[in-house]
């Protein structure tokens, strides 16, 4: 199954990335993106 992100979810995710970057740095953003993509793959595999 394919996970489809709503426009609202994309906006919130983008704002979350900005917050993490400002407060924790680029490496934290990269980690957050990686973990988000892993979670999305798991949701896709087991909806």
Query: What is the per-residue DSSP string for 25-45?
Result: -HHHHHHHHHHHHHHHHHHHH
Task: Quote the pLDDT of residue 29.
Answer: 98
Q: What number of residues does the chain have?
A: 47
Question: Which pair of structure tokens corresponds to residue 43?
Answer: 């949701």
* Secondary structure of residue 2 in the 3-state scheme: coil
Task: Look at residue 1 in the predicted model and tell me its pLDDT.
Answer: 86
Q: Dihedral (C-alpha) 12, 16, 22, 38: value to the nearest 10 degrees?
A: -140
The ranges of the chain with pLDDT < 50 are: none
Cβ–Cβ < 8 Å for 36, 14: no
0.85 exceeded by pTM? no
């Amino acid at each position: 199954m394919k996970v489809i992100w709503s426009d609202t979810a994309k906006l919130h995710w983008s704002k979350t990335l900005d917050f993490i970057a400002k407060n924790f740095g680029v490496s934290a953003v990269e980690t957050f993106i990686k973990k988000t993509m892993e979670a999305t793959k798991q949701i896709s595999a087991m909806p």
